[in-house]
Structure 1
């Protein structure tokens, strides 16, 4: 299972991405951020395998 972070500045699009990515059983969403600087701050702690950065 891949550990995933999603970064999208528009909240409705972020929620849509969380839904669609969450439907895939190979992905485990460990973080979702609207602020890219906040995502970078958590990057070392979360250690994702995949980042969807829009």
Structure 2
């Protein structure tokens, strides 16, 4: 893992802190992961549906 500072890290961390507000970081991480998995599962379902329809 690289530890190089490329210039936008501070802004990224401040944005993340603003988004999570008073929520605990572990709770925010769990919420973010559930949302991300939901998005990916929808994409996969759509691709599977398209594949099945094309058969």
TM-score (norm 1): 0.30
Q: Which has the higher contact order (CA 8 A, sep 6+)?
A: 1
More strand by share: 1
More helix by share: 2
TM-score (norm 2): 0.30
Larger of the two Rg values belongs to structure: 2
